[in-house]
Amino acid sequence: MHQALPPRKFSHTPNYARNTLSSSFRRKRLKAGALIACGVLAVYLILTKLLFSSTTVHIPSGTPEVVIVTVLDPSLSSQYVAKIKENRDEYAARYGYRTFYTNTTAYSIGESPKSWALIPALRHAMTLNPHSTFFFSLSPHALFMNPKLALTSHVMAPQRLESLMLKDKPVVPPDSVIHTFSHLKGDKVDLVLTQDGEGLCQESFILRQGEWAQFFLDTWFDPLYRSYNFQKAEGHALEHIVQWHPTILTKLSLIPQRTLNSYTVNIESRGGNKVTYEEGDYVVRAVGCERDQNRHCEKEMDPWYDQWKRDRQSEVKR
């Protein structure tokens, strides 16, 4: 008697199983393809933005390249302030620059000497003029004597600045171990200072707008430095940070004193005749007059104002 044969086993996968596997494989391929496509698209968009989008910041029409910053003491007479403003306003108008005036009392500096107001005043000027490039902080006891010299070409043009730089020079005279850089390029300079025989001259200097400038001002105005009671207040604080903060030194350029900051009087300890005003110099300043009881800033500057006025009138007549 024959036994029933067992059901035959098929070696091929049933159609429904093959279809299931095929569908799963297709889904994986589609998913991988979608991911690759998204990746390619993302890379394309990034490259397009980097290579073809404009990185130029729009500068509004009429923006001044230079802002002249002057911090006035409320104790100054109105007549004197009027003369200072007249001198700066006429110079600024010649080149399309802008003037910014403020008072030492406009800022909260606590118990610190009022000269510290210079730093928040610069930040204030930068906030109001966000697209301007250079900020010339000028002592209230200084006048433009040679209006034919534009700040941008006289000092800040890269090649001109490179020709003026005092390279590998002690930052603080006479023998600071920290020296200015010898390889700095003019277009990389953000802070331009002069230096006399007694130290750095923070009463008149040039600062370039930017993130570095904000860092520099924040560092300089640190409450810790204001609490140190430095003999020359913000002046000695500046000398400290310039020497011991490499990030600041890397953007600093020292230039010859009379290029930016000639003196009204011959003071031997500050450099004598080498830094005293000569005909044709750019700016004249009554250095230290506010700290010397034997001197009167307004009276000392009056003859220089009169000379500037005469020269101005002669120029107009020609």
Q: Chain-centre distance of CA 219, in angstroms? A: 13
Q: Chain-centre distance of CA 216, in angstroms? A: 8
Whole-number pLDDT of residue 36: 73
Whole-number pLDDT of residue 54: 47
Whole-number pLDDT of residue 285: 97
Cα gap 260→285, rounded to integer Å: 10
Whole-number pLDDT of residue 62: 87
Cα gap 31→26, rounded to integer Å: 8
pTM of the model: 0.81
Mean pLDDT, consecutive 10-residue stretches, the chain (318 aa), reads 53 52 61 65 59 62 95 96 98 98 95 94 98 98 97 97 96 91 95 95 95 97 89 91 93 96 95 95 95 92 96 82
Whole-number pLDDT of residue 53: 46
